[in-house]
Amino acid sequence: MGNWKKTKIGEFLFEREGTYKPDDQAISTLKRIHKIDFTGNFHIVSKPSKTNMILVCPDDLVISGINVAKGAMGIYHGKEDVTATIHYSSYTFDESKIDVEYFKRFLKSAEFIRLLQEQVKGGIKTEIKPKHILPLEIYLPDIEEQKEVVAHFKSVETEDDELKDELTHQQALLKKLRQQILQEAIEGKLTAEWRAQNPDVEPASELLARIQEEKQQLIKDKKIKKQKPLPTISEEEKPFELPEGWEWERLGDLVCPIRGITYGIVKMGAHPKKGGVYALRCSDVRFRKFDLSGVRKVTEEISNQYKRTILEGGELLLNIRGTLGGCAIVDNSMKGYNIAREVGLVPLLEQSINEFTLNVISSPHFNNEIEKNLRGIAYKGLNLNILNKLLIPVAPLPEQQAIVAKVEKLLALCDQLETQITSNQSHAEGLMQAVLQEAFSQGSHQTKQMAAHAE
């Protein structure tokens, strides 16, 4: 390890000076850097900006003042000049003193963040500008050692990229596995052995008959009016063959007719300063669960305008606009919540089939049906009339319970695998930071040791 010298960044990095008004004729024909992503790729657009601009020339080092420590920087390799907003800064550099690949990695290191926190008021939270970067004093090896460090980095980065690619591949396989489990569950493939051992269970037709009897009683008790029947299911509509004892049913025929399938609050209004009612949006309804970390409220007055969607517990919720794929069963602890327009309420008349029906609406079969029936151009959504008519495979109740237990067990194993993959991803990210820390703190440690010996 050679000697590292304390060096001001401004001794080898030079700002390309000059700012321009957005309508300045000198830059009117130039394209603009829209962003630099965290891997250093430039995204160039022709769209103008209302912000003051800087000039960027080919082979300049360009740094995002907001996200530099996350990797939003790079060498601009275009053949023509471009512009960027003043949230970026552009630099030329002395190649005899700095290897730019070395410096780019330094800017992503914990050592750079430490120096900013020590030498810049506000630290990394400050929008980093040339006046912050150029005066910084860093420990710098000679140019030959910089190149050796870069070669070492590239070797480690190649291994790191291969590891991340493998982890991403594992995540994709895990997603496919979850979908396969759910699809095989609703086709009866998971319980083929169970059926062989339990041949005399009550068929699904008896369960459906009881649901229809409940509806007829509601009509008789004048709690609902006689409803127009949904279309008869034709053989051509059935997407796959069901086991003996199973039945196809339209979703709307399984729903409590007093409430029906509906959506919630159209305009949420401002967040109330006091009190209020929690209202679930599509961002709160995830795949088979709720994420209440960002749930917001509406006023009681607004919620009361949509009394039919005030939750009682036990309903199924399904995203029908916005971020699709979210679906979950409402827990009793969420009683009194409401829902937004992008969330569909599916209150089943017979709640004993909730968990099995959740498996259906989170399956590839059901998601494919939703995708085929989306309406709209800029903001696509699922029409409630179509949702009512979508087909649901219904298993005998005892088999539903066996399926639910098996799916829960298999998905729990998937969750364990995902936890392990996520842990490995965090370890991979931490490993790269450790390599950066080791490389860029060596000069500082070496200088401190030399000073200690001198004393």
Residue 455, pLDDT score: 42
Nearest by Cα to 1 from 434, 435, 438, 436:
438
Tally of residues, the chain: 455
pLDDT at residue 454 in the model: 39
Distances (CA, A) of 169 to 175, 179, 411: 10, 16, 18
pLDDT at 74: 87
Asked if 333 and 343 count as a contact pair (C-beta separation under 8 A), the reply is no
Phi then psi for 396, rounded to 5 degrees?
-55, 145
Could you give the CA distance from residue 249 to residue 350 in angstroms, rounded to a whole number? Answer: 14
Looking at residue 2, its pLDDT comes to 59
Residue indicated by tokens 């062989």: 196
What pLDDT score does 443 carry?
A: 54
Average pLDDT, 10 consecutive residues per value, the chain (455 residues)? 81 93 92 91 92 94 85 88 94 92 84 77 71 88 89 82 83 91 96 95 95 91 87 94 96 94 94 93 95 95 95 96 92 96 96 96 94 77 92 97 96 90 76 70 50 41
Beta strand pairing status for 137-140 and 381-382? unpaired
Place of tokens 């926190």: 117
* pTM of the predicted model as reported, rounded to 2 decimal places: 0.71
Residues 6+ apart with CB under 8 A from 85: 32, 49, 51, 52, 53, 54
CA distances from 149 to 101, 154, 201, 241, 428 (A): 10, 9, 70, 62, 20
Question: Pairing mode, if any, of strands 374-375 and 327-329?
Answer: unpaired
Tell me, what's the pLDDT at 123? Answer: 55
